[in-house]
Chain A
Amino acid sequence: MASTITEARALAPAGVSIGSLLRKAARNYVLRRLAVAFIKVLIVVTLTFFLIRLMPTNPVEVYINELITQYGMSADEARNQAAALLAIDLDAPLSQQYFQYMVGLVQGNLGTSFRSKGTPVGAMIAQFLPWTLFSVGISLLISFALGMLLGMWSAYRRESVGDHVITTFSSIFSSIPNYLVGIMLVVLLGVQWKLLPITQMRGSMSPGMTPGFTLEFIKDIFFHAALPISTYVLTTIGSWTLAMKSSTIATLGEDYVTVAKARGLSEGRIITGYVGRNASLPLFTSLAISIGFIVGGSTLIEFIFVYQGVGQLLLNSITSRDYPVMQGIFLIITFTVILANLLAEFLYSRLDPRVRVAGGK
C-alpha cells in the first residue's frame, strides 16, 4: 500500500497525467474505502435532507404554523425565526437550501434546537454522544472478546456439558430482543429481588460528579452504565460465541493446524497464533454490521435505563418534534456507523494479508 503512494508521489512531478494518478489512487485499498465511505455519507445526507423536505408533513412548516398559532407571531416573524434556527434561507429554491445546508454541515453547523432555544444541535450532541459511544464501545469490546473465548472453548470441548450450556444460552439470548432483556433486568434485579438500586443507577453519572481521570468518576460512570452494558453484552455475546465456535471448528480441520502440530509448536502458540487468529477473521467482517445494530438499538436501551445518551436525546427530540436535533442526531449516528465500518474494514485488512493484495474485489 505504502509503496503505491510513494510511487505515485515520486512519479507525479515527472509529468504523469492526473488520470493515471487517479487510476493509481483507485487501485489503493485505503483510498478506495475512504472514497466509498465519503460517497455513502453524501448520499445519506442528501436523502435525509430531501426526505424531510418532501414529506407531506414538512416539519419546518409544522413548526412555523406552531409559532403562529401558539406564540401569536406573524407569518414573516415565524418564518424568519425558523430560518435562523435552521441556518437556512427558507425563501431560496430547494437546491440553494440544500447547498446552504451542505456548507453549514462542512463547517460543523447542524442547526439550532427548536425547543432549547439558542442551543446549537452540535453542542447537544457533543454532550450526549460520548455516553452512547462509551457504553456501546465497552459492551462491544466485552462481548466480542468474551464471545471469542467462549466460542473457542466450546469448539475445543465439543459435545461437553459446558459446550451444550454455552451453545443453548447463546442461541436463546441472541434471539430475544435486547429491550425485553433490559426490561427483565429492571423488573427482576431492581424490583422483584431488590438487588440493585435501579433509580440511583439512572442517568449517565451521579449529580455533582466532576468528570476527570479520578477513580471516583470512573467508578461512577461504570455504576451508571452497568445495566445498559450488561444488556448489550447479554444479547450480543451469543452470536459472537456461535460464530466463533463454528469458525473454530472449521479452522481446526485446516491443514496448517495439523502441520503446526507436526512442527511441534506449543499448544498455546497453536491456539493463539494459528487457530484463534484465523478463526476470528470472519468475525471482524460482522463487527461492522454489529456496530450499526447496537448503536441503532441504543435508543430502546437508553430509554429503559434512562441513560443520557444520544438515543435518549433522539427520542426526546421526536416526542417534542425538535426537528433540527432529530436530523442532526440521525446524521451523527449514521456517520458513526459508517466510520465504524471503515475502521472495522481497515482492522480486517491489517489482520488478513490476503485482503490487502486482492483488495480489488
Chain B
Amino acid sequence: MPLRTEPITINIGPQHPSTHGVFRLRATFDGEVILDVEPVFGYLHRGSEKLAEERTYTQVITLTDRLDYVSSMINNQAYVLACEKLAGVEAPERGMYLRVIAAELQRIASHLVATGFLINDLGAFATPLMYCFREREKILDLFEMLCGARITVTYMRVGGVFQDAPEDFWPALKTFVKEMPIYLDEYEQLLSENEVLLIRTKGVAILSTETAINGSVSGPVLRSTGYPWDLRKADPYELYDRFDFEIPVGERGDNYDRYKVRISEMRQSIRILEQCMQQIEPGLVKTDVPLLLRPPVGEAYAHVESPKGELGFYVVSDGGVSPYRLKIRAPSFINLTILRELVIGLKLADMIVAFGSIDVNMGEVDR
C-alpha cells in the first residue's frame, strides 16, 4: 500500500530570521524539496516615488537614503546624477572624486553585509557576520567624518557633495585601504576553502546567463554567470573611465560564484579608492546650484552600478520645485524575480542560501 503523502505549504516570513527584512515566501514542500514558491512583498512599501512628488529636489535625497539602507551613498549618487542631467549642471572634479570615494566605500560596506548574512543563512553561528560588521563599522565611521551620519547619509547634492572631507578623513581612509585587503584575506581563509561552505554552495542554484539576461538581472548576480556587465565600464559615469580596475566574473552562476564575485569586487573597490587618493586635487566640491532647484521642463534617466545591480532614477520635471514624476529602477526588485526559477527542486536550506546570495534589500524592493 503506498503511503499517502501530501505537500505542505509554509509561509516563510514576513517574520522569519532570514528574510532580510519583511518578505514572505509562500513555499510548498514535498518533504524537504520545494515544489513551488510564490514571493509576496510590499510589507515595507512607503510610497517613496509618490512622496518625492511633494518634496523639493534637494529634499528627495533624504528619501533615497531609505531605499536600500545599506547602500545609501550610491542611491544618493544615482538620484543626484539624474537631477544633474535634468538641470544641465556638472559637479566639480573634487566633488566627483569625493562621490566616487563614498560610493566605493559604500559598495564595500554593502558587500560585507551581503557576505556576512549569506554565511549566516548558511548556518554559521554569526561569526563571519560579526567579522564583516567589524569592518563595516570602520566604513560607517568614515561616513560619519564625511557628513555626520552613518546610515542615512544624504551626503551628495545636485552639483557636488554637501561638504569637503575634513582633514582627519584622509589618514583614516588611508589606514582603511591599507588594512582592508588583510581582512579580506582573513575572510577568505575562514570561508573560501571551508569544506562545508563548498559543498553547500558549489553547484547549487545555478543561474544561466540567458535566464539572467531574460530576467533583466544585473549586478553581481549577472556577473557571477560569467557575463562581464558593469555600468562603471559599460557606461562610465562620473570619473570611472579614469580608473584602472577589473570586472570580476564567476564561472557557473551558482551560490559560490555569487559569494566569490562580491569578495573580488571588494578588492577592486579598494583599487579604485587607492587611485582616487592619488588623483584627487584641492578645489571646489560643489558648483553653485540653488537649494530650491527648478530644472527646465524635461526628463532624464541616470543609472549607476549599485552593489545590487543597475540602480536607475528616471526624473520628469514640469519646471516646478519638485519632480513631476520619479521612477526608481530597483535592482533588488528585478533580481528577486528570478528566485522562483532558481529554487524549485532545491531543498529548504538551499532556498534560504539562494535567496541570501541574490542579496536583496527589502527597503529597495518595496520602495
- Whether chains A and B associate is no
**Chain B residues with a Cβ under 8 A of chain A:** none
Binding site for B on A (CB under 8 A): none
